[in-house]
């Protein structure tokens, strides 16, 4: 073979790659032209020019930017958690399974109390995501499907303390649970990227019994207990 042929052949590959569409993705936002901006805002290009001329001008000058959301799989384990307070019994299985011991749960007897001591109210439910490694073993351990991985990952912060997710934050944040270890969600074709799942009943296999049902059960149990005592 001619000396130097290897180099030429290699250059052929670079040339071929040059003509291919770019593989890289602009993040967190990308510049759009007039047509791209119109598509991003969901209106036609003439509509953009006449209705929002400033935006159209900016797009023409190449200043208009739109946010890019990278494609993720529904099983994506994000840097946050989704938690359903109604489902959680405070059994602390998640805290026991956590390899780093970063879930802190404090419970007090009471809650939706049928009888004191039968159910527990959760006082503290802290997850220290600053130390978390997102292995999702806590999610696997949860017997009531109360804790799920979230899908958000843009959660950088300047303070270490702010990385601790408290109970209030867990309750108030929008719920986009990941389908990691939740086959029932995959079966129902749920996607965390366009489906908000506020309803705790949709999230899992088990349903917490209503207060009336629990009261009824408790009364039944007491009846049988009394019968045995007699």
Partner 1 sequence: MPLATEPITINVGPQHPSTHGVFRMRVTFDGEEVIDVEPIFGYLHRGSEKLAESRTYTQIVTLTDRMDYVASMNSNMSYILSVEQLAGIEPSPRGVWLRMIAAELQRIASHLVATGFFLQDLGALGTPLIFTMRERELVLELFERLCGARITSSYMRPGGVFMDAPDDFWPALDRFLAEMPHRIDEYEQLISGNEIVMVRCDGVAVVDSQTLINASVTGPMLRASGVDWDLRHRQPYEYYDQIKFNRPLATASDNYARYIVRVHEMRESLSIVRQCIEQIEPGPVRPKEVPALIRPPAGDAYVGTECPKGELGFYLVSDGGVAPYRCKVRAPSLINLTLLRDMLIGYKLADLFVTFGSIDINMGEVDR
User: Where would I find the beta strands (DSSP E) of the chain?
Assistant: 29-31, 65-67, 81-83, 103-109, 120-128, 147-149, 164-165
Binding residue for partner 1, selected from 130, 181, 195, 214, defined by CB under 8 A: 181
Structure tokens at 100: 């780093």
Question: What is Dmax (Cα atoms) for the chain?
Answer: 104
Binding residue for partner 1, selected from 134, 152, 164, 173, defined by CB under 8 A: 134
Binding residue for partner 1, selected from 52, 65, 95, 97, defined by CB under 8 A: 97
With binding defined as CB under 8 A, does residue 95 bind partner 1?
no
Q: C-beta of 180: minimal distance to partner 1 in Å?
A: 5
Nearer to partner 1, 7 or 228 (CB): 7
* Contact pattern for partner 1 over residues 187 through 226, marking x by CB under 8 A: ----------------------------------------
φ, ψ of residue 51 to 5 degrees: the values are: -85, -40
Structure tokens at 186: 């995959």
- Going by C-alpha positions, the residue among 89, 81, 86 that lies closest to residue 134 is 81
Q: Which stretch binds partner 1 (CB under 8 A): 57-65, 114-122, 176-184, 207-215?
A: 176-184
**22 class by beta-carbon count within 10 Å (0-12 exposed, 13-18 middle, 19+ buried):** exposed
With binding defined as CB under 8 A, does residue 158 bind partner 1?
no
* N-term to C-term CA, the chain: 102
Q: C-beta of 33: minimal distance to partner 1 in Å?
A: 25
Q: Which stretch binds partner 1 (CB under 8 A): 3-11, 113-121, 166-174, 218-226?
A: 3-11
Contact 203, 177 (CB under 8 A): yes
- Residue 120 exposure: Cα atoms within 13 Å on the Cβ side: 13
Q: C-beta of 149: minimal distance to partner 1 in Å?
A: 7
Nearer to partner 1, 23 or 158 (CB): 23
Distance between CA atoms of 74 and 92, rounded to whole angstroms?
A: 26
Binding site for partner 1 (CB under 8 A): 1, 3-7, 9-10, 12-14, 16-17, 23, 72-77, 97, 99, 133-137, 140-141, 149, 178, 180-181, 183, 186
């Amino acid at each position: 073979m001619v000396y130097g042929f290897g180099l030429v052949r290699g250059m052929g590959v670079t040339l071929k790659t040059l003509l291919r569409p770019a593989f890289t993705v602009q993040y967190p936002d990308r510049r759009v032209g007039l047509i791209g901006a119109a598509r991003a805002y969901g209106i036609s290009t003439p509509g953009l020019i006449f209705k929002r001329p400033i935006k159209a001008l900016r797009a023409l000058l190449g200043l208009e930017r739109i946010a890019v959301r990278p494609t993720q799989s529904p099983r994506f384990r994000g840097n946050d958690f989704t938690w359903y307070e109604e489902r959680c019994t405070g059994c602390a299985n998640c805290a026991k399974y956590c390899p780093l011991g970063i879930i802190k749960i404090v419970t007090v007897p009471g809650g939706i109390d049928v009888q004191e001591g039968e159910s527990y109210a959760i006082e503290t439910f802290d997850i220290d995501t600053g130390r978390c490694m997102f292995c999702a073993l806590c999610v696997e351990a949860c017997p009531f499907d109360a804790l799920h991985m979230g899908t958000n990952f843009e959660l950088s912060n300047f303070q270490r303390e702010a990385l601790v997710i408290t109970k209030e934050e867990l309750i108030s944040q929008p719920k986009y649970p990941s389908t990691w270890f939740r086959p029932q969600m995959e079966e129902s074709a749920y996607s965390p990227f366009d489906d908000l799942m506020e309803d705790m009943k949709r999230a899992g296999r088990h349903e917490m019994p209503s207060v009336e049902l629990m009261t009824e059960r408790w009364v039944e149990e007491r009846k049988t207990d009394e019968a045995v005592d007699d």
